[in-house]
Structure 1
Amino acid sequence: MKKIFYIVLFLLNLGVSAQNTAIFERANKFYNEGKYADAIAQYQAILATKNHSAELYFNLANAYYKLNRIAPSIYFYEKALQLSSNDTDITNNLTMARNMTIDAIDVVPEGGFTKLINNAANTLTFDGWAKLSVVLVFCFVTLFLIYYFAYETLKKRLAFISSLTALFFMGLSLLFAFHKYNLDKNDQPAIVFSKESKVKSEPNFRSNESFILHEGTKVQILDTVNNWKKIKLQDGKTGWISSEDIKAL
């Protein structure tokens, strides 16, 4: 019975994949004909089937950009960049879309040591650091056994030093793994979708207005209280914005 279920599921997936391919080609045809709204509808139909790809997000962003819909274009360029971080076309188009936003926000640079640690942690994923730690544990155990059973003084000394080195780097990789986990956990970007949104000092409409944001601005979500999100800008400013005004990436 299980085999029949998996066969049916496989055939259904093949059917959905073939259908999405046809829809994607039709959407591209609409785009090339300048029918951007029709193209968007077709791309969104693919997204509704839980099918995601950098190319799909990129084309969808391009269609929104052609219609001067800044917020959704930036949003989907960002989504595409999450799946293909080294794609220069996505990066260039995202830069052009950002140039159309109203808010000019200065980026506060990270401190030298903090930037160094963060860059080092971002060289691998959390899983990558965890796997590296396991490999280094294996190296440590192997080298320690060589040290324990070796008879020659030179071999024992080299094995002992090497095992300590492996142990040190294992501890270092664990620290980077946990740091990478915290970086990913705290990284909650969102895009402002409202044409103009008033950011408050507290999570209610009665509080003072801290500043105003416009569509397309990228923010970081820090906290959630009822229908409010606490956000942080790249220049360090914080405030509370209505959840309806932003869309998390």
Structure 2
Amino acid sequence: MKYLSYIVILLISNFVIAQNQALFEKANALYNDGEYAEAIDAYNLILENGKHSAEVYFNLANAHYKLNHIAPSIYNYEKALRLAPNDKDIRNNAAFARNMTIDDIEVLPQAGFSKIMKDITNTFSFDNWSKISIALVILSIVLFLLYYFSYSETRKRLSFVSSFLVLFIGLIALSFAFKKYNLVKKDKPAIVFSQESRVMSEPNKRSEESFRLHEGTKVQVLDSVDQWKKIQLANGNEGWVESEDIKPL
């Protein structure tokens, strides 16, 4: 009975994969024919089926871009970049889409030691930092065993020093893994979907208006109170917007 359920699950999985592939090809054909709205519907069906890939989000973003849908295009380019951060085509098209936004927000510059540490931390993902640290710890154990069972004085000394040196580097890699984890955990980006959003000083409509944002602008969500979100811009400015004005990535 257990094997029968596995076979059923496998058949269903294969059917869904084939269905998504057919939808993807249909959506691409619609896009190439200039039927962008229909292509968007087809790409969204793929996402609703649970298939999330950089290619689907990228093509969906392109279709929105063709229709001058600022917020949806930027949103889906950002989704694609989260899955394929080094893809040049996605980066280039995302830059074109951002040029359609009204808000001109300068990025708060980082310098010194904090910038160096952040750059090193972002070199690898949390998973890769973890794998590197585990590999180095295992290598350190192997070197220590080599030291323990070696009869040559020179080899013992070299193995002993190498073991602790590799272990030290492994612990550094582990610290970067935790640092990367904390960065990812704190990273809560969102895109403004409202054509114009009033950013308030407090989470209520009676408070003073701090500034306004327009569709397509990327923000960081810092906090949430009822139907309000506290956001921060790349230049460090903060305020509260209604939850319905933004869409978390």
Q: TM-score range by the shorter chain?
A: over 0.9
- Aligned twin of 1:91: 91
Q: Which runs of 5+ in 2 are unaligned?
A: none
**In the TM superposition, what is the alpha-carbon distance from 1:198 to its structure 2 partner?**
0.5
Match of 2:175 in 1: 175
Q: State the distance in 1 between where 2:172 and 2:41 align.
A: 49
- Tell me which amino acid in the other structure corresponds to 1:152: S
Structure 1 match to 2:198: 198
Shift of 1:24: 2.0
Structure 1: distance between partners of 2:158 and 2:180: 32
Deviations 1:65-108 (A, max 9, x none): 11111000000011111112222111111111100100000011
User: 1:144 and 2:144 equivalent?
Assistant: yes
Tell me the residue number matched to 2:114. Answer: 114
Give the Cα–Cα distance (whole angstroms) in 2 for the partners of residues 163 and 55 of structure 1: 44
2:49 aligned partner = 49
Identity of aligned residues (%): 59
1:163-187 alpha-carbon deviations (Å, 9 max, x no partner): 2201211221111111011111111
Listed one character per residue, the Cα deviations across residues 53-75 of structure 1 (whole Å, up to 9, x for unaligned) are: 11111111111111111000000
Gaps of 5+ in 1: none
Q: Distance in 1 between matches of 2:82 and 2:199?
A: 27
> What amino acid does structure 1 have at the position aligned with 2:47?
L
CA RMSD of aligned residues (A): 1.4
Q: CA deviation at 1:149?
A: 4.1
> Structure 1 residue 144: deviation in Å?
2.6
Give 2:68's aligned residue: 68
- Indicate yes or no: 2:165 matched with 1:162: no
**Which residue of 2 is the match for residue 233 of structure 1?**
233
Whole-angstrom CA distance in 2 between matches of 1:32 and 1:138: 52
Q: Secondary structure at the match of 2:107?
A: coil
Q: Look up the SS of the partner of 1:86 in the other structure.
A: coil
- Indicate the SS of the match to 2:229: strand
Equivalent position SS for 2:147: helix
SS of structure 2 residue aligned to 1:222? strand
Where does residue 221 of structure 2 map in the other structure?
221
1:151 Cα offset (Å)? 4.0
**Secondary structure at 1:199 match in 2:** strand
